[in-house]
Amino acid sequence: MKKVLLLLALFICGASVNAQSYFNADFEDGLGDMEATSGWNNGDALESQYFPIPAHTNYVAVNDDADSADYIDESLTTPEIDLSAASGTVLLEFDYFFVNGDYEGDEQASVAISYDGSSWESTDLAAVASADEWTNGFQVEIDGDQSSVWVRFGYTDDGGWEYGLAIDNVNVYSPLPNDAAVISLDIPALMGLGDVAVSGAMKNFGSETITSFGLAYSLDGGAPVVATIDGVSVGTGDTYNFTHPEALNFTTQGSHDLEVSIVSVNGGDDDDTSNNTASATFGLVEAIPVAGVVIEEATGTWCGWCPRGSVGMDYMADAYPDAVLVAVHNGDPMVVSEWDGAMAVGGYPSGLVDRLEEVDPGAGTLDAAYNARLSSKIPAAHLDVQAFHNEAWDEITIELTADFLFDSSDDFRFNAFIIEDGVTGTGSGWAQANYYSGGGSGAMGGYEDLADPVPAEDMVYDHVGRAILGGANGMSGSLPNEIIGGTEYTYTFTYSIPADIDPTMVSVAGLIQHGGSGEFENSVMIHHDDIMPEGTDVGIEDNAAVSSINLFPNPTEGISNLVMNLTKESKVNVTVMNALGQTVMTNNAQRMAGKHIVTVDANNFSAGIYMVNVEIDGQSTTERLIVK
């Protein structure tokens, strides 16, 4: 099973073939017949730093973040549409992306229908908008048998700096009576062994309410497993989340192809079979690697808005101690030129999440971006990092071990960060510009009570990136060109601590990075309190009684399995603690040998990070468990 299988391959077959379409605009060749005010643009890359429109085909958008104009009353209007020949239900369907922000006002987006060209029936788009992805296939019912109909999309930034609105695939049509489509599959790209639910979402594109439908799946081209889903009521344009009553079960690692289809609607045929099937490719492994996420803050003492990033990073450090948080400075005494040069950002302050996404570094945005990345990230390898401080030589040694799940020819590389808290300085460039001074721009973690600039003697800088030991994109050659799954690879970095850096305030991060893109595949943060003196016994990993310890699935929404391979009979005790250090589960000490599984039942745990402590013959190690 190759590395590519870590990304879920999902294929939705076909698009809805409507009985009659009265108006259609996909914006592939411009605005077409639609009339737009001056704020609208057409293309497939109209995003900006704080309005990161996800990838789509060509669309139209008002980008209030990128443009300096006030967009008070922007509109995008269809020509007059003749529905006099329509009978039954007529639907307006479209895709849109709307953040629904309130940075300097209350931005609003709407779609409105008019039957006379002057009075409009409006629908607010904020209620079902997603700040992370397009809302696809949104539907509004239109009165049929009308000789004149207009559709208008509206946007206002309320006179302030806001985000914007993007629109695509506008269609006015009469639906077929029975038309169900599989629109998504909820099949993770990588899973632990055991039961796998065949789940997804079905949408009713037809005019008739769906009360039952036939659902089938086929694994690796085998015979279909068919079931009837009844007792439902799915109206026109509504979706239904399904789970096939017969789950799959896997006891060995491997990759699989799954095809899921709707085979009947309301006891009869589906009027449009082109959208009935979706397929996915996924992998099964004994243990899913724990994922680490890197947030690099682009900052500088010259940047008056950068206190927002400082406050955001402090919040993240308190909320998510396992996150790798680095303040990468620009144009000031703390700059590391190679690191600064790798920060491809649109402005300051800013933040990069695993070098994949640029976000505002405010606390709320960082929190959302971190959790979105963590919940979707499936690393290619388990990563273990140990750090040791040799006081005599004033050196830090960082030892990295990676165990890749699959064979891969990707350009993976090891890297390591040196990060210092409590950095201070005097002289030119150490004072922090502060546009929040005086409170006119709102509260900002106390910066509103400080001067502009904040004098150098009053500033303490945390999370400062001091050295990137493998270079901007990782250490070339630290991992082989052809990686063999199941093989452990190791690499050691050594850092000589300069005289101007306090070793007691230094933290390190070990990372696996993509050499081409710079994306961080996995990462582990080791805080300064956890860096061990040179020669420290690292514990259970060196215990000859233990060949491996794995915890999966991780993250979990319920049950997680702690799998131990013990080479001899050993006394084992398992304790689970929450973020407050409170014990929430204990597995009493018992004698075990061989492969043994301890079930961690997290069904009653609150969402968050837990520490699973495993003690074997008096030696212990701790695994992090994320409960969603």
Is pLDDT above 90 for 266? yes
**pTM of the predicted structure, to 2 decimals:** 0.65
Last residue of a domain, one of 499, 533, 567: 533
CATH of the domain at 112: 2.60.120.260
CATH of the domain at 582: 2.60.40.2550
**Are residue 167 and residue 209 in the same domain, yes or no?**
no
- Of the pLDDT bands very low, low, confident and very high (cuts 50, 70, 90), residue 18 is very low
Give me the phi and psi of 126, to 5 degrees please.
Answer: -70, -30
| Rounded Cα–Cα distance for residues 383 and 472 (Å) | 19
Query: pLDDT tens-digit profile of 489-537?
Result: 999 999 999 999 999 999 999 999 999 899 999 999 999 988 878 755 5
The 8-class DSSP code of residue 530 comes to G
**Are residue 166 and residue 187 in the same domain, yes or no?**
no
Last residue of a domain, one of 228, 254, 285: 285
Domain residue limits at 510: 294-533
Query: pLDDT tens-digit profile of 231-244?
Result: 999 998 899 999 99
Is pLDDT above 90 for 114? yes
**Are residue 400 and residue 527 in the same domain, yes or no?**
yes
* Number of structural domains found in the chain: 4
**Are residue 203 and residue 327 in the same domain, yes or no?**
no
Task: Tally the C-alpha atoms within 13 A of residue 293's C-alpha that lie toward its C-beta.
Answer: 24
The answer to whether 558 and 533 have CB atoms below 8 angstroms apart is no
Mean pLDDT of the chain: 89
CATH of the domain at 252: 2.60.40.10
Is pLDDT above 60 for 17? no
Is pLDDT above 70 for 11? no
**Are residue 414 and residue 511 in the same domain, yes or no?**
yes
Last residue of a domain, one of 285, 305, 327: 285
**Are residue 74 and residue 183 in the same domain, yes or no?**
no
- Select the more confidently predicted residue: 447 or 622: 447
Token pair recorded at residue 7: 């990304």
- DSSP string of 53-95, one letter each residue: PPP-SSEEEEETTT--S--SSEEEE---B--TT--S-EEEEEE
- Select the more confidently predicted residue: 586 or 348: 348
Query: pLDDT tens-digit profile of 544-563?
Result: 555 567 787 888 888 888 87
Is pLDDT above 60 for 174? yes
**Are residue 83 and residue 109 in the same domain, yes or no?**
yes
Is pLDDT above 50 for 9? no
- Of the pLDDT bands very low, low, confident and very high (cuts 50, 70, 90), residue 154 is very high
The answer to whether 463 and 418 have CB atoms below 8 angstroms apart is no
* pLDDT score, position 27: 97
**Are residue 420 and residue 471 in the same domain, yes or no?**
yes
**Are residue 356 and residue 495 in the same domain, yes or no?**
yes
Query: pLDDT tens-digit profile of 431-469?
Result: 999 999 999 999 999 999 999 999 999 999 999 999 999
Q: Which of 619, 623, 616, 617 is nearest to 600 (CA)?
A: 623
* pLDDT score, position 1: 29
Q: Which of 156-170, 285-299, 314-328, 348-362 has the lowest mean pLDDT?
A: 285-299
> Mapping DSSP to helix (H, G, I), strand (E, B) and coil, where does residue 394 land?
coil
**Are residue 522 and residue 571 in the same domain, yes or no?**
no
**Are residue 359 and residue 480 in the same domain, yes or no?**
yes
**Are residue 119 and residue 185 in the same domain, yes or no?**
no
Is pLDDT above 80 for 252? yes
**C-alpha distances in Å from residue 538, one per residue of 114, 387, 470, 542:** 71, 10, 24, 7
Mean pLDDT of 28-53: 93
